[in-house]
A and B are shown apart, each in its own frame.
Chain A
Amino acid sequence: MSNIKQSFEDHTSTIPAIQEIPPTPAAPRRMTLNMGPQHPSTHGVLRIVLELEGETIVSAAPDIGFLHTGIEKEFEQKNWQQGVTLTDRVDYLANLSNNLVYALAVEKLLQIEIPARAQWTRVMMTEFSRLNSHLVWLGTHALDIGAMTMFFYCFREREDILRIFEMFSGQRMMTSYIRPGGLALEPPRGWQHAVGKFIKTFPSKVDEYEELLNANPIWTRRTKGVGFISLEDMLDLGVTGPMLRGAGLNWDIRKSEPYSSYDKFDFKVPVETSNDVWSRYRVRIQEMRESAKIITQALEGMPEGAWQADAPHVVLPDREKMKTQMESLIYHFKIVTEGYRVPAGEAYQCVEAPRGEIGYYVVSDGTSKPYRVHMRTPSFGNLQGLPKMLEGIMIADSIAALGSMDFVLGDTDR
């Protein structure tokens, strides 16, 4: 084997290197190529205008807004409770992270305490949504690079996660499960069994993915050393999340600004230093393992008690109580017809979503409708780093680089 390799190297070393012909200033042989908005590798409707010199990208200009649906405007028309359904539709792969950040921001203004059981369930569910998002990312990213089997493997596990979502909330994707004041429904009977069954086998599934990809020569050659962008540029351009951790920055909002009792869980923040598509892949794979650890801890140590806050003016009353107690009936009527009022003020809450920092800036004027909700979405920030990352690389590598960014266009355009 080594002999063959040696002879191959001897043979190839005699081939002269291809001379690069610089373009003459009079005729810069440049071409403008329009990529998207229907290109499958842009994972949604992203249009990129590429300036090419041969096959090398000279400059790239992303054009966004094709999925703009005016969610921030619509927020101002709905009451606080109804707004939850809009947050699902922002980043449809990390719906529970969006539910959570909205609930936390509103609870900050309401100043209500959330019971431990609800907090732990929230953590467990957001970690499931992280797994969901990373699985979709890995499947589609590998498909772009040419590894088709990964797609089937990842979607097989994703299906199980969606079943768990359905079990908890009645919905596979638009869960709206985490609401201001607690959860939408009590965790269903027998959830421990479903979650336990999934989490027992999941680490071995991640092993399977790694077995397929880690030593795969096509995968390694298409990811290692591709898609470099310096850490300083990323920080300056607003990039967050696994992109930064793949460049050696140990920053995770779950650790630095713990929310929803994340400080009670034991997990590591994976950091890689090579700052390319490969390192982002390594970070996300390890994040999946850490998420599985968090879910196991939540499963084993789930506290008993209430799953909604003791705040009758915010939380819908129990159906039984509603039929027997006057007080509950009044609260139910008030919340359903008018919605609850949130004291005037402003709050900014951020969480670590699968793609990076989601921050909701919520302004209340004291009525039952939000005055303004601004979403600082990770995909919007991350996409700003795209032109810098694509500059100077080959057009074929741009597909791998794009995929490593893991953006969701619904998240970008809102």
Chain B
Amino acid sequence: MNHPAVLETKEAFGETTLIVDPARIVDLCRYLKDSEEYVRLSGITAVDMHPAEPRFEVIYHLHSLEKNHRLRLKCRIGQSDASGANPEIDSATGVWRSANWYEREVFDMFGIGFRNHPNLVRILMPVDWEGYPLRKDYPVHGYKYSYPSE
């Protein structure tokens, strides 16, 4: 893939993975959709590499019906500063509308912010939940059972 956003290309088990510069992910997505026929976004997810840095991998699974081919994009992002604020990446909702819920799920589970997302709120957990369950430093049994007090 000759696109300036692609940093590295990997092949394993017949699957292609592109390591992408997170700052230019939307550029690449738009290019892949418009010029390379990747019309479907199959899903977005993330992996927490805690305590390694950069901590998160945001994964996009693309699918082209015409080429019958799947593509994985991977962006490595870390905590943006020492304050512990959530890491951020640009939202792909402008390219595929399906990114809306996928990104909300990633936000809900990993606390990764998506810039320019139309409605970035929790989707599976209650809206007032604290913490991000799929982070590796989140305990399995939870540390607080919170229900909104009336």
Taking the complex as formed, is A19 at the interface, i.e. its CB lies under 8 A from any CB of chain B?
A: no
Q: Which of A64, A251, A348 has the most CB of B within 10 A?
A: A348
Given A238-B98, A380-B101, A361-B45 contact (CB < 8 Å): yes
Contact residues of A: prevailing secondary structure: mixed
Contact present for A236 and B97 (CB under 8 Å): yes
Contact residues of B: prevailing secondary structure: mixed
Contact of A348 among B61, B98, B122 (CB under 8 A): B61
Contact present for A361 and B61 (CB under 8 Å): yes
Contact present for A384 and B43 (CB under 8 Å): no
Of A65-73, A171-179, A319-327, the one touching chain B: A65-73
Contact of A361 among B59, B98, B101 (CB under 8 A): B59
Contact of A257 among B68, B133, B140 (CB under 8 A): B68
Taking the complex as formed, is B124 at the interface, i.e. its CB lies under 8 A from any CB of chain A?
A: yes
Contact present for B133 and A70 (CB under 8 Å): yes
Contact present for B101 and A371 (CB under 8 Å): no
Give A413 Cβ to nearest chain B Cβ, in Å: 6
> Which residues of B sit under 8 angstroms from A199, Cβ to Cβ?
none
Residue-wise, chain B 29-64 has the 8 Å CB interface mask toward A (1 for contact) of 000000000011111010110000000000101000
Contact present for A77 and B140 (CB under 8 Å): yes
Residue-wise, chain A 328-360 has the 8 Å CB interface mask toward B (1 for contact) of 000000000000000001111010000001010
Contact present for A237 and B15 (CB under 8 Å): no
CA distance A252 to B101 in the complex (A): 24
CA distance A359 to B96 in the complex (A): 18
Q: Which of A67-120 contact B (CB under 8 A)?
A: 68, 70, 72-74, 77, 108-109
Q: Which of B90-134 contact A (CB under 8 A)?
A: 96-98, 100-102, 105, 109, 122-126, 133-134
Residues of A that sit less than 8 Å from B by CB: 64-65, 68, 70, 72-74, 77, 108-109, 235-238, 249, 251, 256-257, 345-348, 350, 357, 359, 361, 363, 371-372, 374, 376, 380-381, 383-384, 413-414
11 additional contacts, CB 8 Å, given A236-B97, A347-B12, A348-B72? A74-B140, A77-B140, A238-B98, A348-B15, A357-B42, A359-B42, A359-B43, A376-B43, A376-B45, A380-B105, A384-B98
Residues of B that sit less than 8 Å from A by CB: 12-13, 15, 17, 39-43, 45, 47-48, 59, 61, 65, 68, 70, 72, 96-98, 100-102, 105, 109, 122-126, 133-134, 138, 140
